[in-house]
Amino acid sequence: MTEVISGAQAEFQETPYEDSTWEILGEIEENPQFNPIDLQVISTGEFQLDPMFEDYGGRLDPSMKHRFHLPEGDQNEALSLEEYYKNHIGELEEKHAALVAEAQKVAFEEGKQKGWNDALEEAKQREGLARDSVKLLFEDMVSQIRDALSKLEKNSVEFALAVSRKIVGTAVEVNPEYLVPIVREALSNAGTAVIKKVRVSPEDFEFIEVVGVRKVLDCFDGTWDFEADNTVRSGCIVETSAGEIDYRLDEAWQRVAEDVIRVVR
C-alpha cells in the first residue's frame, strides 16, 4: 500500500540547528541625554481621595502647571519646584517650632501647676504634722501642769496641816485652859452612861491639880476623877460604862488630816 503525502509536507525542508540569533536595532550612546516627559496638569477640581485608602499626604499644590518625572529635566521648573519645597519646609519648620513652643508653654504651665499643687499638698502635710506636734506638746504640758498642781496641792495641804498642828501644839503648851471646854464637851457626849474616869496627859493633870479644874466643871459629881496617862498628849479620854470617848487632840487631828489628804488625792 502506497502512503499519500500532502503538499505542505512534501515541501518541508529541515532547518539547520543554530545556538542563537539576533538582530541589531540600534547602538548605545556613550553619554546619553535623558529628557523627562513633560506632562500637562489637567485641572479636575478638588482632589478626591478614595475613602478605602489612607491619606498619607504628599500631594502637591494644584496651582502648579507642570510636573516632571525627574527634577533634572528642566532646570527652570526644577528650581521653582525646589523653591516650593524649600518654602514649604520653612513653613513646616515654623509650624514645628510653633508647636514645640506651644508644647513647651503647656508643659511649663502644667509643670508649674503640678509644682504648685505638690507644694500646697506638702505644705498641708507639714501643717498637719506641725498641728499634731503642737497638740501633743500642749497635751503633755497640760498633763505636766496638772501633775504639778496636784503635787503642789498635796504639798500645800500637808504643809497647812503641819503648820496647824504646830499651832495647836503651841496653844496647848501656852494655854493649858484649853482642856476645860474639851473635857466639858467629852462629858456631854456620855449620855446616860456612867462616867468612871477621865484620862489626861501628865502635864494637863498637873494643871488640873494646881488650878482646880474640878470646881469649874458643873458635871463633876465626885463619882469619877481625873487620871494621868502617858499615852495621851493633849485632850482627854473619858471612860464610861458604855466604853471610851476619845477626845485626844492629836488623834482627832490625825483623823482630820487623813480625811483631808484622802479628799485631795
The tens digit of pLDDT for each residue in 3-49 reads: 555 555 667 777 777 777 777 777 777 777 777 777 776 666 566 66
pLDDT, the chain, mean: 75
* Grid cell digits, residue 76: 527652570
Distance CA 234, CA 244 (A): 16
Distance CA 141, CA 241 (A): 60
pLDDT of residue 164: 61
CA angle 163, 165, 169 (to 5 degrees): 115
Q: Of the ranges 4-8, 56-60, 179-183, 243-247, which one carries the lowest mean pLDDT score?
A: 4-8
Q: What is the pTM of this model?
A: 0.38
- C-alpha 176: how far from chain center: 72
The CATH class that applies to domain 177-264 reads alpha beta
- C-alpha 82: how far from chain center: 66
pLDDT of residue 159: 66
pLDDT of residue 259: 61
> What confidence tens digit (pLDDT) does each residue in 82-96 have?
666 666 777 777 888
* Grid cell digits, residue 258: 487623813
**Quick check: 168 pLDDT over 70?**
no
More confident residue, 64 or 233: 233
**Quick check: 71 pLDDT over 80?**
no
Distance CA 155, CA 157 (A): 5
Q: Say which amino acid occupies 174.
A: V
Distance CA 207, CA 177 (A): 8
Region class of 212: left (phi > 0), else alpha (psi between -120 and 50), else beta:
left
